[in-house]
Structure 1
């Protein structure tokens, strides 16, 4: 058990020295690999993680975690923000060493919402939206993709979602559309909807633009979330699948377990993922 603690402490590069990393109960056998062959994917944060924090507090947590990429949510930068507001918030992130690499998740239930989302992405200066357009808006969304050259990564939201519960439902809607229409794979929601995340990566790699990573405690519809590494998602298999398909997007942690006091849980999750990347 002490070696497990040492593993987490060692691999949580750049995290605050005062953070504690509780012992994790799962998958200790995964760490017997050759650490001289490290797999590296860029780690980001899904903005929803910081629902209860303002921009400044979110930046401070990310700096402690040594994570420098974020998908911005509208509670930090509203969709109807003025150009001055956008400039101000982007400067805050830049000054904190944080790259805003995309925006979303943005829900699109009307043509006006689609227009707003693409205009917002353009003004923020990103080339991708993580979004959820209704089925009847997919043709219109495709038109906007072609007009603006801004990609859309459709996010699956689990068995509760009537539109896109799992990655297959996204794939079925976009596979014959413009190649700039793809998937933001939420691995926790995918598993709750019955799809193993590593299999989803292999099946849908051609349109895999972004990822939200988390963990869940069981392969069940109503499974609760937990720190990455404490649940049932096979992260070594997931990282190996990403390596196999030569994934070049972001893997963004979306931590939802204790959202009013998330830092230690995020740190454990990020440290676990970094550790797996060092050992697969």
Structure 2
């Protein structure tokens, strides 16, 4: 685990970002100093982080932490949304300078539900689905990914997940399928399942389309999500690996601690990540 001294050194910008919560008038000044520059990857937020908040509240939080990419969850844009509702949703995001780059995670149990997931992504206008299909449906997922030319990234959920506990399991199942089927790499759950998330990022780089940026308190089933700089994953090493593999997708913070009052933790995590990016060049 990063030492407290190391954490403080590398998350100075995170401390500034946390201050945003209590000093909104300073937000523009503080966040401007924390912008990621000259990186091939983007910083986003996974929509599930905002499960207890409506869209406006979620976008206000994104504005405060200066993050501009969102993976869309159905509680903000339902699967049965009309074309008019989808247009209004995107217009709302544009007001906050936010881009919805993908949808999900979407759980599917049948081929019909897979069909609906691809239709939903097409109507929303994104080229990425984060999904959790059954193993036996993976060939069908590959067919639909090719048909729609929409990438499908399978999410790993740690030791409790009987289908996809880690990235290795996903890769072994998809390696011979259409290359549009890949991985949404949840680095925290991967670590909780006893795997080295920095090494796995490199090992499966070509099939990682998206990732859930998070840290955890322990590399065991009992590990809990925590602020990004306070866990057992070496974030500076992870950022260096992102550059090494030339990752160009989104690193979407999925913050699952204090989910009814997450802004301070999100701000600290975003600030820490931006600070590490700036400090490891």
TM-score with structure 1 length normalisation?
0.89
Partner SS for 2:204: helix
Q: Does 1:238 align with 2:238?
A: yes
Residue 56 of structure 1 deviates from its aligned partner by 0.4
Counterparts of residues 197-212 of structure 1 (less than 5 Å): 197-212=197-212
* Structure 1 residues not aligned, in runs of 5+: 22-36
Would the aligned equivalents of 2:68 and 2:97 in 1 still touch at CA under 8 Å? Answer: yes
Counterparts of residues 40-59 of structure 1 (less than 5 Å): 41-59=41-59
Would the aligned equivalents of 1:12 and 1:274 in 2 still touch at CA under 8 Å? Answer: no
Would the aligned equivalents of 1:156 and 1:184 in 2 still touch at CA under 8 Å? Answer: yes
Alignment correspondent of 1:247: 247
Alignment correspondent of 1:83: 83
Equivalents in 1 of 2:22, 2:177: separation in Å? Answer: 47
**Count of aligned pairs:** 264
Alignment correspondent of 1:213: 213
Would the aligned equivalents of 1:40 and 1:277 in 2 still touch at CA under 8 Å? Answer: no
Would the aligned equivalents of 2:7 and 2:230 in 1 still touch at CA under 8 Å? Answer: no
Would the aligned equivalents of 2:14 and 2:269 in 1 still touch at CA under 8 Å? Answer: no
* Structure 2 residues not aligned, in runs of 5+: 24-36
Would the aligned equivalents of 2:12 and 2:272 in 1 still touch at CA under 8 Å? Answer: no
Residue 136 of structure 1 deviates from its aligned partner by 1.1
Partner SS for 2:11: helix
Alignment correspondent of 1:26: none
Partner SS for 1:233: coil
Structure 1 residue runs of 4 or more that deviate by more than 2 Å after TM superposition: 1-13, 15-21, 37-41
Q: 1:148 to 1:264 in 2, by over 3 A?
A: same
Per-residue CA deviation, residues 101-138 of structure 1 (Å, 9 max, x unaligned), is 00000011101110000000000000010111111111
Q: 1:12 to 1:152 in 2, by over 3 A?
A: farther
Alignment correspondent of 2:162: 162
TM-score with structure 2 length normalisation?
0.88
Alignment correspondent of 1:61: 61
Partner SS for 1:10: helix
Residue 90 of structure 1 deviates from its aligned partner by 1.6
Alignment correspondent of 1:19: 21
Residue 83 of structure 1 deviates from its aligned partner by 1.7
Alignment correspondent of 1:8: 11
| Larger fraction in helix | 2
Would the aligned equivalents of 2:45 and 2:67 in 1 still touch at CA under 8 Å? Answer: yes
Residue 247 of structure 1 deviates from its aligned partner by 0.7
Partner SS for 2:138: helix
Equivalents in 1 of 2:186, 2:13: separation in Å? Answer: 27
Partner SS for 1:89: helix
Residue 18 of structure 1 deviates from its aligned partner by 3.6
Alignment correspondent of 2:146: 146
Would the aligned equivalents of 1:184 and 1:210 in 2 still touch at CA under 8 Å? Answer: yes
Alignment correspondent of 2:271: 271
